[in-house]
């Protein structure tokens, strides 16, 4: 079961060309959604303006070797190890979900585009990695959703409370969960295959089609922002930033009434 390409089995009812066109459309939606996010929210403009500002304020000069070192540190610590998370539980859940998503997405694309029928058998490792990726998403995602979210763990809110910011994690969990159930039912020849395959397609379409409104586009910005932060620290431009206001400045001193605007 774990070494059988579920999409090759599906080719008996859905033409491979249709499945391949769907994967290509999802990739295009991610690219278009990310570009829309950049233009609509001005993310790139803000980033480059902040980059130029920090470079101008820096009191130290960064050499070529240090640039490479900062880039390597960003890749290893901030990107691959998610170093921005101080909470080890949150970091582990994030890493499980992130690497699971990469395995899940890449193996899906390779199996559909490269091995779409039983006549083109995929290596046994590909379906196995697809299963591992989906399970990693479920473990990391459900762990985060029910036990780590701030409004659930710290504020006591219901785990069923949903906001627009939850669109990415919910659609990702929906895609992985329904996809794994569909593949399991298909391998066992059980009933209900069509229902879970339909849910799988819907959740996956929402996942990749909702990029401008979800957090998926952030994965492309975070490495650049992390690198800029390291450069700003290295050239001492962060030491030139205004100091944070104290409580008296924020809320009024103890001798005067708080000001309301």
For residue range 132-160, what is the model confidence (pLDDT) as tens digits? 999 999 999 999 988 887 655 555 666 67
Question: Between vectors from CA 40 to CA 238 and to CA 227, what angle results, nearest 5°?
Answer: 30
pLDDT band at 88 (very low <50, low <70, confident <90, very high): confident
Mean of the per-residue pLDDT values of the chain = 80
Which residues does 163 contact at the CB level (< 8 Å), separation at least 6? Answer: none
**Range name among 49-63, 69-83, 128-142, 210-224 with the lowest pLDDT average:** 49-63
The tens digit of pLDDT for each residue in 220-249 reads 667 777 777 777 777 666 554 444 444 333
pLDDT grade for 201, boundaries at 50, 70 and 90: very high
Is the pLDDT reported for residue 253 higher than 50? no
Q: How confident is the model at residue 103 (pLDDT cuts 50, 70, 90)?
A: very high
How confident is the model over 43-57, as pLDDT tens digits? 666 666 666 666 666
Tokens standing for residue 211: 């990029």
pLDDT of residue 244: 45
Contacts of 40 (CB under 8 A, 6+ apart): 212
Q: Tokens 């699971």 belong to which residue?
A: 100
Tokens of 51: 């980059």
In whole angstroms, give the CA distance from residue 19 to residue 113: 8
């Amino acid at each position: 079961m774990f070494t059988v390409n579920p999409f090759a089995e599906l080719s008996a009812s859905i033409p491979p060309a249709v499945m391949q066109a769907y994967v290509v459309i999802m990739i295009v939606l991610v690219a278009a959604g990310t570009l829309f996010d950049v233009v609509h929210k001005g993310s790139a403009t803000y980033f480059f303006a902040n980059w130029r500002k920090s470079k101008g304020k820096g009191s130290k000069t960064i050499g070529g070797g240090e640039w490479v070192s900062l880039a390597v540190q960003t890749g290893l610590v901030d990107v691959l190890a998610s170093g921005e998370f101080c909470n080890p539980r949150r970091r582990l859940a994030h890493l499980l979900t992130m690497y699971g998503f990469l395995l899940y997405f890449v193996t899906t694309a390779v199996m559909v585009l490269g091995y779409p029928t039983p006549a083109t058998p995929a290596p046994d490792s590909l379906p196995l990695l697809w299963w591992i990726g989906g399970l990693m998403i479920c473990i990391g995602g459900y762990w985060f959703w029910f036990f780590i979210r701030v409004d659930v763990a710290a504020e006591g809110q219901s785990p069923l409370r949903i906001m627009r910011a939850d669109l990415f994690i919910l659609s990702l969990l929906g895609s992985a969960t329904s996809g794994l159930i569909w593949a399991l039912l298909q391998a066992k020849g059980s009933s209900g295959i069509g229902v879970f395959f339909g849910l799988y397609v819907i959740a996956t379409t929402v996942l990749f089609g909702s990029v401008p409104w979800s957090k998926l586009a952030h994965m492309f910005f975070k490495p650049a922002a992390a690198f800029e932060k390291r450069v700003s620290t290295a050239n001492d431009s962060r030491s030139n930033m205004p100091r944070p206001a104290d409580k008296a400045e924020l809320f009024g001193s103890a001798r005067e009434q708080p000001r309301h605007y």
